[in-house]
A and B are shown apart, each in its own frame.
Chain A
């Protein structure tokens, strides 16, 4: 954990809070399988604060990059920049299955109380074969969910997304509850945390069910429970999520200067602004990673 003794930022956005919430799940020296967007920014913030020796891995086969620019995907050139090893996809995933990866980062369109994730299809009134919304699919998510020692899940907090049971288990959490992962022989430990735009959930060691552990500033437990479909248990020591420190917000604003992940997204990004963003990030980030 970082930032205990540091000064907290007074003005920060919700996205910045989510970045640091993800960042604080990363411990120094850990091997972390990262995706894109907010969790990846979180891993980079961790590397620039409390976890300088964390090793970030992406699915294209790049290990231990230190990019001097925003990473625009798991196969962006940023993934090979100052890397310690560039190998194949199947080799990186084999390292994970063998047990070398400490933390994996996942997202999805639906999650259930056992941390099972759906990123394949929303059935709606249809089924798998004619869904109301077809989603991209697993990618490497199933492999990460099965084999990473623990996983971090990032989700939007909505009742229709936090379900008793997901339509399709793309990435298994604890499946039907205690003993399920063991019965299926999964090498990894399963989900450790769900970070949403309202709260942080962790998993009960006995029941394997997600419970409310922390609410973001300004949010109540009742408000969160209204956006969850199952009978949500609340930690007796319910916390308020720690805001970002001044240093953390400063780092985030340098990493994502055009607010691609922490603001309006990519709409309106002109080619010239994009070239300038790449140009200016190089000097700033090289300095920061020194």
Chain B
């Protein structure tokens, strides 16, 4: 099936397994949505189960989707602004790879959050590059030959130029979508609108699949319209242990447990055995975390942020 066919499908629903096996391939470039919270965790575990190799990750500030895939040796290159686990801690697999070449050396091209955002914007606009005042004169510019500094052709000052990012596939997690792929965020969307648009294929995962009538009630929430989308997958608690706005709170105690375990190479393997290979799919992952724990994270969130739309 070519890209046009899947984007024009009137029912794009499929399982996570199917979406990943159809659109994520050896040697592909891949991008994920999320910033701080709203990370794309469940699809990361599925990619680990399926084992696609030699991929390039393009991202702003990825967490599990970068650090885990570096740890499993599935990434050969990252083009990122930052790579860690935020308040929970640094990224042990990334450190092992860069400092010691474990499990393999990776090629790192660094940008900043804004300029990665501009790279996706250029990709989403069908333009070759975007200009910015950021990066000029820093060591980021010095060590990355993808960043060029040019003179403003209309006179005077320097501007930096960053190339469009056009990943082979993007995985974007939203609150809700319909079967056509109209995808709505209720909270922040970070760079998701442009990550989905820039990519050749876009997989939408959502907390809930809703009717198109429901989408039409609040069309301003639609960040990604259907013609961009190739697959729609319902994945509740997709971001766990991260938070999802208007859905569930951050499970930071779980994250601290994870951080303590993946500190060592052996610990990381144990964590993968338990949570990636030890679960057939995301449903089993949720079973293992415990539905009562997940429900508590949803319940507590309702106290703070309710969306009646």
Contacts and interface: CB of A to CB of B under 8 A. Distances in A.
Interface of A: 36-37, 58-62, 67-69, 72-81, 86-90, 93-94, 96-97, 120-121, 128, 130-143, 146-147, 168-172, 175, 180, 183-187, 260, 266-267, 269-271, 274-275, 278-279, 282
12 contacts: A61-B189, A61-B190, A77-B37, A77-B244, A77-B250, A88-B191, A134-B94, A138-B140, A142-B140, A169-B140, A172-B137, A266-B87
Given A120-B139, A134-B94, A138-B140, A282 B304 contact: yes
B84 interface: yes
Chain A: interface secondary structure? Answer: loop
A139 B115 CA distance: 10
Contact of A136 (B37, B83, B293, B300): B83
B134 A131 contact: no
B86 interface: yes
Interface stretch (B11-19, B105-113, B211-219, B280-288): B105-113
Contacts of B305: 77, 80-81
Most chain B CB atoms below 10 A, which of A93, A267, A279: A93
A86 B188 contact: yes
B71 interface: no
Given A68-B304, A86-B188, A89-B191, A142 B134 contact: yes
A89 B61 CA distance: 11
Nearest to A79: B188
A75 B252 CA distance: 13
A203 B140 CA distance: 24
B110 A89 contact: no
A186 B90 CA distance: 30
Interface of B: 34-38, 60-61, 80-84, 86-88, 90-91, 94-95, 98-99, 110-115, 117-118, 120-121, 132-140, 143, 157-159, 187-194, 242-246, 249-254, 256, 293, 296, 300-301, 303-305
Most chain A CB atoms below 10 A, which of B91, B189, B245, B301: B245
A170 B98 contact: no
Contacts of B84: 136-137
A136 B90 contact: yes
B249 to A, nearest CB: 6
Given A73-B37, A143-B115, A271-B254, 16 more contacts: A61-B189, A67-B304, A72-B87, A86-B188, A88-B117, A90-B118, A132-B99, A133-B95, A139-B61, A142-B112, A142-B115, A147-B133, A172-B137, A185-B133, A267-B256, A269-B253
A166 B190 CA distance: 31
Nearest to B300: A278
B191 A282 contact: no
B117 A275 contact: no
Nearest to B152: A185
B91 to A, nearest CB: 7
A87 B191 CA distance: 10
B138 A36 contact: no
Given A97-B114, A137-B110, A140-B113, A131 B191 contact: no
Most chain A CB atoms below 10 A, which of B88, B94, B113, B192: B113
Most chain B CB atoms below 10 A, which of A60, A146, A186, A260: A60
A94 B133 CA distance: 10
Contacts of B188: 60-62, 75, 79-80, 86-88
A87 B110 CA distance: 24
Most chain A CB atoms below 10 A, which of B159, B188, B249, B300: B188
Contacts of A183: 137
Contacts of A60: 35-38, 188, 190
B87 to A, nearest CB: 5
A220 to B, nearest CB: 33
A139 B60 CA distance: 7
Closest 5 CB pairs of A and B: A75-B36, A90-B117, A139-B82, A136-B84, A93-B114
Contact of A266 (B88, B189, B249): B88
A140 B114 contact: yes
Contact of B82 (A76, A138, A278): A138
Contacts of A169: 137-140
B276 to A, nearest CB: 22
